[in-house]
Structure 1
Amino acid sequence: MNYWIFQGNPKVFDIDTYLTESSILQWDIRQKHFKDEIKIEDQVFIWRADGGQKNTGGIVGLARIAELPVFDEGEQCWRVKLNKVEHRTSPEAGMLLRHELKEWPVTADLPIFKINQNTNYKLSESEYKVLLELWKDPDQLHKLASSPLLEKYLEVFRNQAKKWFESCEFLNENHTFFQSFKDPERLRKMEWEEVQALGKHVNAFSSMALARGRALGNINGPIEKYRNSFLYLFYGEAALEERMYRFINDEQYKLFGIGESVVSEIIAGVYPESYCMFNQRDRVAVENVLQLDPGYGRGDTFADKFMKFQSCLKEHQIEEKYLHIVGKHTDLPIYLEIDQFFSFLYMRFGKQDSNTVEIAAENGVQYWVLAAGENAYLWEDFHSNNLIAIGWPELGDLEQYQTKQEIIDKLIEAYNLDKTPRNDAHCNYQFAKEMKIGDYVLIKKGNRHIIAFGKITSNYRYDFSREEYRSIRSVEWINTGDWEIPKDKSQLATKTLTNITPYEDYLQELLDLIGFMNEDMIDKGIVQELDNMDLDESQPFGLDQLLKEVFLSAEQIEEIRHSLTSKKNLILQGPPGVGKTFVAKRLAYYHNGSKDDSRISMIQFHQSYSYEDFIQGYKPTEGGGFSLRNGVFYDFCQRAAKDPEHNYYMIIDEINRGNLSKIFGEVMMLIECDKRSRAYSVKLTYSESGEPFYIPNNVYLIGTMNTADRSLALVDYALRRRFAFVSVEPAFGTPAFQEFLQSKGVSQGFINRIVASMNDINGEIRNDKVNLGKGYEIGHSYFCPSGSVGDEEAWYKGVLKLEIEPLLREYWFDNEDKVRNLIEGA
Structure 2
Amino acid sequence: MSTWILRGESKNIQTNTISYQLDMYELFYINEMQPGDKVYYCDYTDIICICKVNTITMYNQIVITLDVIEQGEPLPLKFVRKLWGLKNLDIFKIEDIKVLALEKDEDDILHSYWKVPGSVEGLVKYDYLDIHLFLYSRVAEVWIGDTEKQLTKYQFFQAFRKEENLSIMNWEDFQKLREQSPFLQTTLPVESFFTEQKAPIERYRQFFIDLLFGDDSIDKRLDSFYKDPIRRLIGFGQKEIGELVHYLFPNFFCRFTNKEIVAVERLFKEASTLKNTYTIGSKIYHYQKLIHESYLLNKYLNIVGRKTELPIYYEINCFLQYIYDTHSESENDGKEVAFEEKEKKKYWIYTTQTGIDANSFFDEGMLTFNHGKLGNIRNYSSRKEIWNNYRQIYSAKKVPYVETSSLFQFCHEMEEGDYVFVKNDKEQIIGLGKVCSPYMFPKFPNSPSFRKIEWIRTGIWNVKGMLFSKKPLVNITANQNSLSYLLDIILEK
Query: Shared fold (TM-score greater than 0.5)?
Result: no
TM-score normalised over the length of structure 2: 0.42
Greater relative CO (CA pairs within 8 A, separation 6+): 2
TM-score normalised over the length of structure 1: 0.28
